[in-house]
Amino acid sequence: MKRLLVIAALLLAVPAAAQRQPETADDALRQQLDRIATSEEAVLVPMRDGVGLSTNIYRPREAEGRLPTIFWRTPYNEHRLRGSTLRYALEAARRGYAFIVQNERGRYFSEGTFEILGHPQTDGYDALTWIADQGWSNGRVGTLGCSSSAEWQLALAAQNHPAHAAMVPMASGAGIGTVGRFHEQGNWYTGGVPRTLFFVWLYGVDNPLRAQLPSGLDQPTRARIARYNDLNASKPDVNWQRQIRHLPVSEILSDLGEPPATFEQFIARTPADPAWRQSGLYHDDMGWGVPALWFNSWYDVSIGPNLELFNHARRANSDREASANQYVVIAPTPHCQYNRLGPDTVVGERAMGDTSFDVDGQIFGWFDRWLKNDRSAFPASTPHVRYFVMGENRWRSAADWPPRGTETMRFYLRSGGNANSLNGDGRLAAEAPPAGEASDRYRYDPMNPVQTIGGGDCCNGGLVIPGAYDQRQIEARDDVLVYTSEPLTEPIEVSGFVNALLSVSSSARDTDFAVKLVDVAPDGTAWIIGDTIIRARYRDGYERPVFMEPGGVYRIQPTPMATGIRFGVGHRIRIEVTSSNFPKFVRNLNTGGPNESERTGVVADNVIHHAGENVSYIELPVVPR
């Protein structure tokens, strides 16, 4: 009886939901899709453990023979197609593809318990097998998606499923565990410092108290319920600007009344916790088996790890054809905003000019090449790297990343001992400082952290607006060291990985060091280009934290920044150094204790050294003119 009441309650929603609404652009696209494609909705695709994943299947009505398939897998409610998913489904049907949208395990109409990335090595593999076994399938599947719909593809690529013919991962960095120099565990960390974006994201997505459909429903009933009920929990609004300051960090969500779930598991881990290896993250010892067309962005969350993985996939050679067919496009936009490419693009507050790029044409050309065997659709002559050079505001091509011939240019951090703020005497110079040059000092108070303004970020409830923004408000603070070059007499293109080395001291056992790369225009506007951060206890690796001693001098190397920027004539190159970048990154409380479970912090007196064996510098990858 209880089961029947649940079904009846769900179906009673039909009259209200079926009332005619004003037609939107999505409504018009859905009507077009209905005309040219058949659909099967809320089909439960069985996994090896018996759990069923809810799946919508769209096939072109006029197609003859077996079809190639484009597969979009998601933790979001996309059974009612909208936005980019709807556009891709319609275009796929027009081009003779089956298009599949599948809810991850434990999300919306799928059975089971949710886990970030949705068990790609098992559920992803089993879904590919199911697709390939269908009578309408030609056995070739391409995976497509942005952000969460891309991140699960990475670990799946290591499985080298025989049906997985090609992939298009867009903005996929949160699917990377460890790759090369980057040890971010799905963007949970940068340099061992937790990022806050997933705190907000998990509040919205992780729902251990979610409603579920009763088991045993027939497919037509499931499909009818899914048309009129989204099972989408609506949680109370949160003032994240206030809540993100809550201490201890480990109670940020429980303070809102949330039951213990994924956040509490993750925040209790260290960067080297073996539990990270048990999730759906991709690690660079897993091999690589699928040709990939990557889409990345300069102002995204993890452009560095994304490009490091692109290079790794080209070198892996566990599948030689796959490694030989890795291509990347790098746009100037924030996370997943490839639809913003076009004339008169503005990113943050900076004009980027004409950023036009045929994203959809490239995607379907790529799939035609690998799923239909049309080699002319994506010619072998296509450059492996296409990237937008900010400042010059034009697209460039290269065979490798960084571009071949790139040379390292080193700039030393120098001053007379007073680089504090924009009004200090800090400078960047090609000449190494003489012995005895004064160090720079600043006081870092975790209760008064340096504010994040712009840069690469996403998905954080409005805490940080990504993009290019003026940093002078930040540079006015005395706890920010500012080092600026002389105006350039000729342009410099910096494209590749930007490395920093700092020689540091602190009164604290542990603190953070944050570095920012800035393009200073002739009018003084200080555009953020990239940033990085490192927790001092992890300077010798993540497996064995080592604390500082007062008066000791330590060499700190944050993970690289990545960019493509031309510093024009009259522009100046600037580096900022401080110890916080909040709310993008969790504040270090400077105690040397378990930072995320502590309630109070201490002030740290931090030093950047310049001279002798204790130099500090930045290394820029400069592309010859």
Pairing of strands 282-283, 176-179: parallel
Task: Kindly state the average pLDDT of the residues 477-482.
Answer: 98
pLDDT score of 442 more than 60: yes
Q: How high is the pLDDT of residue 433?
A: 95
pLDDT score of 1 more than 90: no
Q: How high is the pLDDT of residue 16?
A: 35
Contact 573, 493 (CB under 8 A): no
Average pLDDT value for the chain: 94
Contact 565, 494 (CB under 8 A): yes
pLDDT tens, position by position, 43-60:
999 999 999 999 999 999
Q: How high is the pLDDT of residue 23?
A: 67
Q: Which of 79, 335, 571, 609 is catalytic?
A: 335
Active site residue 161: no
pLDDT score of 404 more than 90: yes
Q: Which of 147, 323, 415, 439 is catalytic?
A: 147
Which amino acid, residue 98?
Answer: A
CA separation for the pair 356, 360 (Å, rounded): 12
CA separation for the pair 102, 148 (Å, rounded): 12
Which CATH code is given to the segment(s) 407-623?
2.60.120.260
pLDDT tens, position by position, 360-391:
999 999 999 999 999 999 999 999 999 999 99
Report how many helices (DSSP H) and strands (DSSP E) the chain contains, helices first: 14, 29
pLDDT tens, position by position, 246-294:
999 999 999 999 999 999 999 999 999 999 998 899 999 999 999 999 9
Comparing 160 with 62, which gets the higher pLDDT? 160
Closest CA to 195 of 542, 546, 502, 464: 464
CA separation for the pair 152, 105 (Å, rounded): 12
CA distances from 400 to 102, 270, 290, 396 (A): 35, 34, 19, 12
Q: Tell me how far the alpha carbon of residue 450 is from its chain's centroid.
A: 23
pLDDT score of 485 more than 50: yes
User: Who contacts 237 (Cβ-Cβ below 8 Å, separation ≥6)?
Assistant: none
Task: Kindly state the average pLDDT of the residues 49-75.
Answer: 95
Q: Tell me how far the alpha carbon of residue 468 is from its chain's centroid.
A: 17
Active site residue 147: yes
Look at the chain and count its residues: 625
Active site residue 300: yes
Closest CA to 477 of 396, 412, 421, 408: 421
User: Who contacts 379 (Cβ-Cβ below 8 Å, separation ≥6)?
Assistant: none
Task: Kindly state the average pLDDT of the residues 450-463.
Answer: 95
Q: How high is the pLDDT of residue 279?
A: 85
Task: Kindly state the average pLDDT of the residues 59-81.
Answer: 92
Q: Where are the domains of the chain?
A: 407-623
